[in-house]
Structure 1
Amino acid sequence: MRRYLFITLLLLASQALAERAWVTDEFKITVRSGESPRHKIISMIKSGTPVQVLSRNRATGYSRVRLPNGKEGFVLSRQLLDHPVAREQLATLEAEVAALKTAPSELQRKLADLTERHNRLSREHESLQAEKKRIELELAALKRTSANAVRIANERNELRKQVAELTRSNEELKQEKRELENNSAQRWFMIGGGVTIAGILIGLILPHLRLRRRKDSWGSL
């Protein structure tokens, strides 16, 4: 009774320490329903198959394991290893060697991709620099054009002012000319009128003067 109790406690204690193990380099091993050769075989697993160790019983030499398909059973502990079998290790090493062999070509491909990206970015940078320079030149030309436009507008406004001043001066000169022409016409009219009146007066007075002279000459005789 004590022996079975000890085995039960040992199973319960070791059940909490689940660990990973691999079947030894044998062709196949049996998985039984109990911890003795008399128990039923529930499965056969190939060497190198990974199993999960749920408990170990040193007294019986069996370990309780869980198979990859989820089944649980008992196998001899000596048929388990704490590392992959040589075949699995060899396959892993071969895969690592193959990866190392392909690594240089992969690195070369990545280097070629990076070089291509660098060259493409360099070309794009040069294109952007050229575009920037072109825009700067256009902006400078636009600024000059704007400055010229402002200058031309100022000159146009100044010319308009000068034209307005000249127009006013011309109108004033025309007015002065008209006034002078009017004054001259009036003056000549007055002179002409005066001459006419003087002629009339002379025409009226001169005969009387001639008669008076004749009378005086006759009286002296």
Structure 2
Amino acid sequence: MMVGLAIALGGPAIAQTTAYVTDELEITLRSGQGNDYRIMRLLSSGSQLEVLQRGETWTQVRAGDDEGWVRSLYLQPDPGAAAQLEAATNRLSELRDENQTLSERVTELESRLETLSDDNRQLQADNQRMTQRLQEAGEGLELADENQALQKEVLDLERQVQDLSREADRMADRESRDWFIAGAGVIVFGMLLGITLTRVRWRRRSSWSEL
């Protein structure tokens, strides 16, 4: 396996960039440019390295806290297939976890939506009942107003009847007095007439006796 090298063609020899150890390979990081130099550490396939200086045969890199040289042919600019597969697998696992989380969230939202729909239907039913009750209450108020008006009319009629009754009583009393006075007058007139007639008769008798 080779280490990928992300170095722009024609760039400066000491430009820093990133390179990766090629797939299926374990290479050595040496202290100098040659196989005779001391091996500082082993670099596994897919290891990310910081390129410090590139050469045709050897490239100076930094691996963690160590700086050394590796063969240029074992470097590549992109992660190896194994590393990419591992990254893709990890990403797939993350996506599956995210999908599971989203599915649970969707289920929760659907349940919440169903609850809200039930609440909405209940509120609509309550609103309809309240509207009906308000309508009935309004009709009741109208009936109460009508009843109150009728009661007032009844009271007015009762007062009128009482007034008429009192007036009838007064008229009956007046008529009785008038009849009484008229009757008394007739009696007095009859008595006066009787007295007058008696006197006339007595005078006539007196006149005849003198003849």
TM-score in terms of structure 2 length: 0.67
Equivalent residue, structure 1, for 2:54: 56
Structure 1 pair 107–88 and aligned structure 2 pair: CA distance change class (3 A) = closer
* Structure 1 unmatched ranges of 5 or more: 1-11
**Secondary structure in 1 matching 2:61:** strand
Equivalent residue, structure 2, for 1:44: 41
| Distance across 1 between alignment mates of 2:18 and 2:93 | 29
Equivalent residue, structure 2, for 1:18: 17
How many Å apart are 1:85 and its aligned residue?
5.2
Which of 173, 193, 201 is the aligned partner of 2:192? 201
Q: Specify the code of the residue in structure 1 equivalent to 2:137.
A: T
Equivalent residue, structure 2, for 1:74: 69
| Distance across 2 between alignment mates of 1:149 and 1:181 | 45
Structure 1 pair 127–151 and aligned structure 2 pair: CA distance change class (3 A) = same
**Per-residue deviation, residues 16-74 of structure 1 (Å, max 9, x unmatched):** 25232226745451331x43456665x3133222211122122xx2211121x243332
Structure 1 pair 55–146 and aligned structure 2 pair: CA distance change class (3 A) = same
How many Å apart are 1:184 and its aligned residue?
1.8
Matched, 1:213 2:204: yes
Q: Specify the code of the residue in structure 2 equivalent to 1:181.
A: A
Equivalent residue, structure 1, for 2:3: none
Structure 1 pair 90–147 and aligned structure 2 pair: CA distance change class (3 A) = closer
Q: Specify the code of the residue in structure 1 equivalent to 2:59.
A: S
* Structure 2 unmatched ranges of 5 or more: 1-10
> Equivalent residues in 2 for 1:53-132 (5 A)?
53-58=51-56, 61-67=57-63, 69-84=64-79, 88=83, 91-92=86-87, 95=89, 99=93, 103=96, 114=106, 117-118=109-110, 121-122=113-114, 124-132=116-124
| Distance across 1 between alignment mates of 2:191 and 2:62 | 164
Q: Say which structure is richer in helix.
A: 1
Contact 1:21 1:53 in 2 (8 A): no
Q: Specify the code of the residue in structure 2 equivalent to 1:57.
A: G
Matched length: 200
TM-score in terms of structure 1 length: 0.65
| Distance across 2 between alignment mates of 1:106 and 1:18 | 33
Equivalent residue, structure 2, for 1:140: 132
| Distance across 2 between alignment mates of 1:109 and 1:24 | 34
| Distance across 2 between alignment mates of 1:155 and 1:124 | 45
Identity level (%):
22
Q: Specify the code of the residue in structure 2 equivalent to 1:205.
A: T
| Distance across 1 between alignment mates of 2:91 and 2:160 | 106
**Secondary structure in 2 matching 1:186:** helix
Structure 1 pair 19–120 and aligned structure 2 pair: CA distance change class (3 A) = closer
